[in-house]
C-alpha cells in the first residue's frame, strides 16, 4: 500500500481516506467486525502495524535525504528541480506539490 509513497503530496482529506482504508484492512485481517465497537488505537495496537500516514511521511523524508545527497548533475537533482514552465497552475487553490510538503515539514 505504500509503494511510491515517497512522491505522494497528500492533502488532509487524502490522509484521512488512507487512514480509513488502512483501518478497514486491519479489521479484516484481525477478523474484527465494526459491531464490536473497537477503537482505532486498540486495533492499531493489536495489529502491531505502524500508521500508514506516519510511515508515508517517514518514507518521504528518507527520499529527501537521498535527493539532497545527490544534488549535483544527476537525474535526481534534475527531476527535483524541474518546473513545468509551459503549463499554468489552475485558478483557485493550487494542487499540492511534493515540494510543498517538504517546505511545510521543515518550517
Determine if the pTM surpasses 0.75. Answer: no
Buried b (16+ CB within 10 A) or exposed e, 72-102: eeeebeeebeeeeeeeeeeeeeeeeeeeebb
94 phi-psi bin (left φ>0, alpha ψ -120 to 50, beta other): beta
| Domain ranges across the chain | 5-105
Number of CB atoms found within 10 A of residue 43's CB: 19
Per-residue pLDDT tens, the chain, 107 aa: give them: 888 888 888 888 999 999 999 888 888 888 887 777 777 778 888 888 888 888 998 998 888 887 777 767 677 667 666 666 677 767 887 777 777 888 888 88
Amino acid at each position: 500500500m505504500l509503494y511510491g509513497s515517497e512522491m505522494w503530496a497528500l492533502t488532509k482529506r487524502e490522509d484521512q481516506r488512507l487512514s480509513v482504508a488502512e483501518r478497514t484492512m486491519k479489521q479484516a485481517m484481525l477478523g474484527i467486525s465494526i459491531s464490536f465497537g473497537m477503537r482505532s488505537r486498540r486495533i492499531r495496537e493489536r495489529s502491531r502495524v505502524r500508521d500508514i500516514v506516519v510511515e508515508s511521511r517517514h518514507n518521504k523524508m528518507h527520499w529527501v535525504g537521498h535527493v539532497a545527497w545527490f544534488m549535483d548533475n544527476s537525474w535526481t537533482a534534475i527531476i527535483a528541480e524541474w518546473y513545468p514552465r509551459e503549463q499554468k497552475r489552475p485558478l483557485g487553490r493550487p494542487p499540492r506539490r511534493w515540494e510543498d510538503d517538504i517546505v511545510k515539514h521543515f518550517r
